[in-house]
A = this chain, B = another copy of it.
Amino acid sequence: MKYENETRIIVAVDCIIFGFDGTDYKLLLIQRGFAPEKEKWSLMGGFLKPDESLDEAANRVLKELTGLENLYLEQMHVFSDPNREVVERTIAVAYVSLIDIQQYKEKINDKYHAQWFTMKELPKLIFDHEDMVNMAKSRLRYKAALHPILFELLPERFTLPYLQALYESLYETKIDKRNFTRKVLSTKMLIKEDKKDKSSSKKGAFYYHLDKSKYQEEFQTVLNFIPKNDMPTSND
């Protein structure tokens, strides 16, 4: 049995993968392997198959193009302008993930052609992929002001200056160090280690790691790391 007279449309998934390298936010891109726009820079994308859900498609596409598996991918928004694609009408469901660059660095670079780009120096992207990235960035700013989601971008061990840079870079603002430290430590999500990182200063900065159970517990509480004047809006 089939619906008569209804239009059938190609459905794509596109994955926006954010990372942080200690200074800058980065985006994982790939050179598109087929026409049109072959060899232009693109988000990790592919088409929905008959027997898979969109979540499954996003995971499959990401694995095929980068080797990355078992990432947390969150559905963000469907882009559906009738003219967004040049070949044939295609709607695209955008997915977002935050990953620790260090952990996946070699995995990605060894076998695949995906490449990290600094957010400030992105190449021109195909179709409406720039709109997708902009929406993802706004939503990240909004959500990260409320919940500790940026911790997904951290390496196993990190210093407080590293954590502060993670927030400062996203909001393109300077945050008062003493205030930030006090607020972050008051969440009790961080466990201090004995060792110091001495790579950035003579005095050094203690390493911390995340208390995973506390992090899970606190994930839904509303944070206030961001000064009120720098708070993004949900329409940002």
Q: Does A173 contact B (CB under 8 A)?
A: no
Q: B9 contacts A7, CB within 8 Å?
A: no
Q: B3 contacts A82, CB within 8 Å?
A: no
Q: Does A40 contact B (CB under 8 A)?
A: no
Q: How many copies does the complex hold?
A: 2
Chain A residues touching B, range? 35 or more
CB contacts (< 8 Å) of A82 on chain B: these are: 50-53
CB contacts (< 8 Å) of A53 on chain B: these are: 80-82
CB contacts (< 8 Å) of A10 on chain B: these are: 3, 6-9
> Of residues 58 to 93 in A, which have CB atoms within 8 Å of B's CB atoms?
75, 77-78, 80-82, 87-91, 93
Q: Does A191 contact B (CB under 8 A)?
A: no
Q: Does A203 contact B (CB under 8 A)?
A: no
CB contacts (< 8 Å) of A78 on chain B: these are: 54, 75, 78, 93
Q: B2 contacts A48, CB within 8 Å?
A: no
Q: Does A233 contact B (CB under 8 A)?
A: yes
Chain B residue at minimal CB-CB distance from A142: B220
A9 to B11, CA, bound (A): 7
Chain B residue at minimal CB-CB distance from A2: B88
What's the minimum C-beta distance from A105 to chain B, rounded to whole angstroms? 30
Q: Does A157 contact B (CB under 8 A)?
A: no
A6 to B75, CA, bound (A): 22
What's the minimum C-beta distance from A160 to chain B, rounded to whole angstroms? 25
Which 9 A-B pairs rank lowest in CB-CB distance, beginning with the nearest?
A: A220-B233, A8-B8, A54-B80, A53-B80, A6-B47, A2-B88, A7-B50, A1-B87, A6-B10
